[in-house]
Amino acid sequence: MTDQGRKRATPNILVTGTPGTGKTSTCSLLASATGLRHINVGELVKEKSLHDGWDAELDCYVVNDDLLCDEMEDMMRDGGNLVDYHNCDFFPERWFDYVVVLQTDNSVLYDRLTNRGYMGRKLQNNMECEIFQVLLEDAHEFYNVDIVRALPSNTIEDMSNNVEILSGLIRAWGNNT
Ligand code: ADP
Ligand code: MN
């Protein structure tokens, strides 16, 4: 339900998880399969400068939550969005009909992150984020548990399964009231 008490024609889905768990790959496939709009939040922040500069220590932009949410508000209103981001604690709860948390085994994630060139503190922070299930805990804290789903994302087979499961949820959305 939206805050107006009327259901969106197509759901909004937040796909979250530690960097490297497969959010962007999964959303790309899911967007092709369903026609939903893939919003890669990291790219949007960069493109539209929705940040307060670069944090050299953490090696990432300091996202301006207010600018970002203002930018996304109109897109979110009508539904049909796949929001791809490694944080979930500042989006309005009312935006999302499902919250998906992708999870990856430590050894697999370690290889993906080192392949991406992560090292030192950045690598360690992200590994700890996954080990302590920070995104799943946040999702449970900030959203209704009934709409939160954790999905494994270790193999290509997992990814196809996840795309299948989520396509099913999207297709079924119009059928139940
Ligand atoms: P994120 O957007 O969460 O940071 P990406 O989608 O960019 O993650 O994936 C990171 C890397 O891991 C990419 O090289 C991608 O191909 C690979 N990858 C992601 N998910 C899987 C998976 N389920 N099985 C195999 N490889 C995957
Ligand atoms: Mn990504």
What ipTM score was computed for the predicted complex, to two decimals? 0.99
Q: Is the pLDDT of residue 109 over 90?
A: yes
Distance of CA 57 to the CA centre of its chain: 24
N-term to C-term CA, the chain: 10
- Probe residue for ligand 1, chosen from 14, 16, 25 as the CB with the greatest number of ligand atoms within 8 Å: 25
d(CA 74, CA 51): 19
Domain residue extents for the chain: 13-170
- Asked: is 13-170 a CATH 3.40.50.300 domain? The reply is yes
The residue type found at 115 is N
Res 155: pLDDT: 98
- Atom 21, ligand 1: residue with shortest CA distance: 22
* Mean pLDDT, the chain, integer: 95
pLDDT band at 1 (very low <50, low <70, confident <90, very high): very low
Percent of the chain surpassing pLDDT 70: 95
pLDDT band at 143 (very low <50, low <70, confident <90, very high): very high
Residues making up the annotated binding site are 20, 22-25, 116
Give the number of other CB atoms < 10 A from CB of residue 166.
25
